[in-house]
Amino acid sequence: MTNAAALPGQPRGGAISGPATVRAHCVLAPNPSAITLDGTNTWIVAEPDSDLAVVIDPGPLHEGHLAEVVATVERAGRRVGLTLLTHGHADHAEGASRFAELTGTRVRALDPALRLGDEGLAGGDVVTTGGLELRVVPTPGHTSDSLSFHLPADGVVLTGDTVLGRGTTMVAHPDGRLGEYLDSLRRLRSLTVDDGVHTVLPGHGPVLADARGAIEYYLAHRASRLAQVETAIENGHRTASEVVAHVYADVDRSLWPAAELSVRAQLEYLGERDLI
């Protein structure tokens, strides 16, 4: 989900210009909304001299979009060798089964229910297809099955919904948990400090050229929201809906249902630590 505060980002759609990456290409799905921003970013990643590509998050079940992803890969003189999912939300994964039919590929994901083929994904795995190296980073919190993919050759991380290109994401309670989400943000921040990651390729919104700054913003935002929730409770706002109306008053009301999921996750987090 998004809120009124926006993160700076580069325009995207098509090949990423400049020094961000030479291996990633975005095809934007035609599913814009308040939640999905401009739509879902389907990422095509490949080594420059390889005839195989990896597709991350085929997106919704939209025949035109899936066909365009295939065509984009073929126009580059490649074929799809593997499909990966960052998580199971429909705007990222609903089209995966149909995309597998179109391309004859396996689908790898953390959740066994989303896989097509024998291989899943887990943190610490390294995916190698067509000479490409993608390191699987566990980033639960938005959902329990959320993963990110570190592309060390370009110094980028593909974050799905864990970090967005604009605004902030929701913690999708009860599947999503705030404590896990904060740990995931810290894990991503460590990539920017220790592993040379400088750019975020998000599941929605523009590319973020300052990965560390974006993740620090997310951590600060979460701390601020948590403090606001604590204050709201101290002021007598007890239910999640009451807290949302108080804390998220500056956010478009169409996003309040998503905000309520995050608030429920925050209330659970505070309760587990005997802070409320």
pLDDT in tens, 178-213: 999 999 999 999 999 999 999 999 999 999 999 999
54 has a pLDDT exceeding 90: yes
Alpha-carbon Rg of the chain, whole angstroms?
Answer: 18
The DSSP output letter for 144 is: T
Structural domains of the chain in order of their starting residue, each with its CATH number: 14-272 (3.60.15.10)
239 has a pLDDT exceeding 50: yes
The predicted structure's pLDDT at residue 274: 78
What is the distance between the terminal CA atoms of the chain, rounded to a whole angstrom?
Answer: 25
Q: Cα separation of 249 and 165, whole Å? A: 22
Sequence-distant (≥ 6) Cβ neighbours of residue 101 within 8 angstroms = none
Q: Is 115 left (phi over 0), alpha (psi -120 to 50) or beta?
A: beta
Q: What residues pair up with 83 in beta bridges, in sequence order?
A: 55, 107
117 has a pLDDT exceeding 60: yes
19 has a pLDDT exceeding 70: no
Q: Cα separation of 124 and 105, whole Å? A: 22
3 confidence band (pLDDT: 50, 70, 90): very low
Are the CB atoms for 187 and 139 separated by under 8 Å?
Answer: yes
The predicted structure's pLDDT at residue 213: 97
Lowest-confidence pick of 104-113, 128-137, 178-187, 249-258: 249-258
State the average pLDDT for the chain.
91
276 confidence band (pLDDT: 50, 70, 90): low
